[in-house]
Structure 1
């Protein structure tokens, strides 16, 4: 969304940039690190950090800052009020109970995908992955099945713009990091209407994803199943899991 310059509140934008500087790689920041990550001067970053701490969104030891539980109000409000997670939760739970595997619904946000709904893993312990599979977890779009399905929903020119100048991080030895290779994978996902990713985000983890479309045919999210431990052939998952994912996508279409 674009707005008029007169309507843009720069202070809010800077404060949000400071909050977004915290992630799994940098859970604690001082003013210097926050300034580098948010693109601010050190003095400005320090003021924003102190203000956010005063408001209760950050905690501090006087030098370093880290997120406080109060930031969960934002995600909690989204999950409580957004129609998408509430509409998908029963289907995710049913799939998990039926198969004993873990299912998620994911949306695209810039260069990352965000888990907005997920099932439990019935009958087997849920393994915590390096980047997490909890609600709100953010994963790199280029290395995930859901990310590729959502990128495949873009028009080719839009995807070219998304890819332009973007660094594709190598997360495992199997991660595709070349633009040409990713283009081929996105083209295949667009043609097949699903995506299989094997050990590109984390070794020992495979995932299969399909798009979730509304009644107008717009892709609004992606649905995937994540499997860890045993390594599966794509053909096996096509036979055993893909029909369930496609049927679930048809089932929820009228709800999106």
Structure 2
């Protein structure tokens, strides 16, 4: 920890009850998990809430957390299930369910060391996926009458298959930029028990209707995804949410 960490985060927590207070981090070795670290350190205040569904996990990384003892106990402490339990994600989601807030201080108050034997690597991706899908359905899809899935590729189809039957029926279309997928015209859910099997249109992203659940990873397309979203003049958290 940097020498001023406790004082600075204590002051922020005292001024923001019922809040998980995080901070920016410095990585050791420098350059470790570059894309993830950039995400941790660059989210704006609104994105700390809008991007809670992504595969990156909590929008303020757990080693930086600071909150009151009262709020910690109100949320329900950590799940002590042991190796393979994503206790940070479970606590973070529960804090949000109870109306908690999230802020990140813009100072680097913590040196965050990467090593290949960290406990985070013991958590199965499937476990994280299930928790994220359930939270998305609970917090967002339960309020939406219909939506489109941005990506007719592997991640978009996987999300569709993971949804409850009721939420599957809310999917109006998949959208993409891949001409082969668009020309095919439909995605048929072969695993469905319904007859006839669901056939979801696949459209170019400019022809699809918001709101969107975006299943294309951030910061991996050379800015193309981000530019496409901007071109539609959409508002994050209202017209679209990132899931991948």
TM over 0.5: same fold?
no
> Greater share of helix residues, 1 or 2?
1
Specify which structure has the bigger relative contact order, considering alpha-carbon pairs within 8 angstroms and separated by 6 or more residues.
2
- TM-score band by shorter chain is under 0.3
TM-score, normalised via structure 2 length:
0.27
